[in-house]
């Protein structure tokens, strides 16, 4: 399974990062979104992030130019059908992902591998809706994609060994490290990380500490580079809530019950950095705690 061309569905925070690292690794990338504006913003973001890598000596200006030349964009989802590998990086809602795969199926090459960058949804269930569950895998990048070294590889119940081997080789070519995860809700990283964030929100909800004291405690007391509430804002509170709901529904254990305060923030549209407010208010020069 020689993989040379890659289709990326979704040009948001994860999608543009995935396109970035694949282009730098020598793959031809076709980036898709439903919005021309989103595609234009993605190219600007990729340009800025590659500039940062050039300034730090991580890549040369020539490598940047060559990588950017490998990235094309399209509004037409069927255009991705002739690529060797497709990575779905749309919003973390199962019905959205299923519609994308349904729309792709009539246009795929027989050999095309389908993957999802989902951070929590069942790979087996997503794969079962396609015509190639044996060529379907979870391919979960960490955010920000150009910086983080880990990729979770999640095998569905039907995933065959050649597909697994091909994806493992792709991760190696990207210069990243693959972690093998079984297909259980939220896999490894988010199974551990998001409940920790949810517990931090409960700590705030119950008045045990303020936003500032909770984040400082974990940064200085546990040597975390970011506090859990700051990290939640970075990830997106809607994404954190979606993953907690997947854990709660998938494992039927009350320890995964989303904190009511997390739900309330999402209902208010305070989703973190991307919306300007979350556990911190980002609308001024420096972030200010909102509680």
Q: pLDDT digits over 195-211, tens only?
A: 999 999 999 999 999 99
Q: What is the pLDDT of residue 36?
A: 96
Q: What is the pLDDT of residue 120?
A: 87
Residues of the chain with pLDDT under 50: none
Cis peptide before 126 (omega within 30 of 0): no
User: Do the annotations mark residue 245 as ligand-binding?
Assistant: no
Q: Considering the candidates 116, 190, 198, 230, report the single residue annotated as catalytic.
A: 190
Among this protein's residues, is 4 annotated catalytic? no
User: Do the annotations mark residue 11 as ligand-binding?
Assistant: yes
Q: Considering the candidates 88, 116, 120, 152, report the single residue annotated as catalytic.
A: 152
User: Do the annotations mark residue 79 as ligand-binding?
Assistant: no
Please tell me the number of Cα atoms within 13 Å of 90 on its side-chain side: 19
Among this protein's residues, is 140 annotated catalytic? yes
Among this protein's residues, is 152 annotated catalytic? yes
The partner residues of 137 in beta bridges, in order of sequence, read: 115, 155
Q: Considering the candidates 119, 120, 122, 198, report the single residue annotated as catalytic.
A: 119
Q: What is the pLDDT of residue 42?
A: 98
Among this protein's residues, is 119 annotated catalytic? yes
User: Do the annotations mark residue 252 as ligand-binding?
Assistant: no
């Amino acid at each position: 399974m020689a993989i040379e061309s890659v289709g990326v569905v979704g040009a948001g925070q994860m999608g543009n990062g995935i396109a970035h690292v694949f282009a730098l690794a020598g793959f031809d990338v076709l980036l898709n979104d439903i919005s021309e504006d989103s595609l234009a913003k993605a190219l600007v973001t990729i340009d800025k992030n590659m500039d940062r890598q050039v300034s730090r000596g991580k890549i040369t200006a020539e490598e940047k130019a060559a990588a950017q030349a490998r990235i094309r964009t399209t509004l037409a989802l069927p255009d991705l059908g002739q690529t060797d590998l497709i990575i779905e990086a749309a919003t973390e809602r199962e019905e959205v992902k299923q519609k994308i795969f349904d729309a792709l199926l009539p246009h795929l090459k027989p050999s095309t591998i389908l993957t999802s960058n989902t951070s929590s949804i069942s790979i087996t269930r997503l794969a079962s809706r396609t015509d190639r569950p044996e060529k379907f895998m979870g391919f979960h990048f960490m955010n920000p994609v150009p910086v983080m070294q880990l990729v979770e590889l999640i095998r569905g119940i039907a995933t065959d060994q050649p597909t697994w081997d091909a994806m493992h080789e792709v991760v190696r070519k990207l210069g990243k490290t693959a972690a093998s995860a079984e297909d259980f809700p939220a896999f490894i990283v988010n199974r551990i990380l998001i409940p920790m964030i949810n517990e931090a929100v409960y700590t705030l909800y119950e008045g045990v500490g303020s936003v500032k004291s909770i984040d400082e405690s974990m940064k200085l007391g546990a040597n975390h580079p970011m506090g859990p509430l700051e990290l939640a804002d970075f990830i997106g509170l809607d994404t954190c809530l979606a993953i907690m709901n997947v854990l709660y529904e998938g494992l039927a254990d009350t320890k995964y019950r989303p904190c009511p305060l997390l739900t309330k923030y999402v209902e208010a549209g305070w989703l973190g950095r991307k919306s300007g407010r979350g556990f911190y208010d980002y609308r001024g020069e420096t972030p200010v705690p909102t509680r």
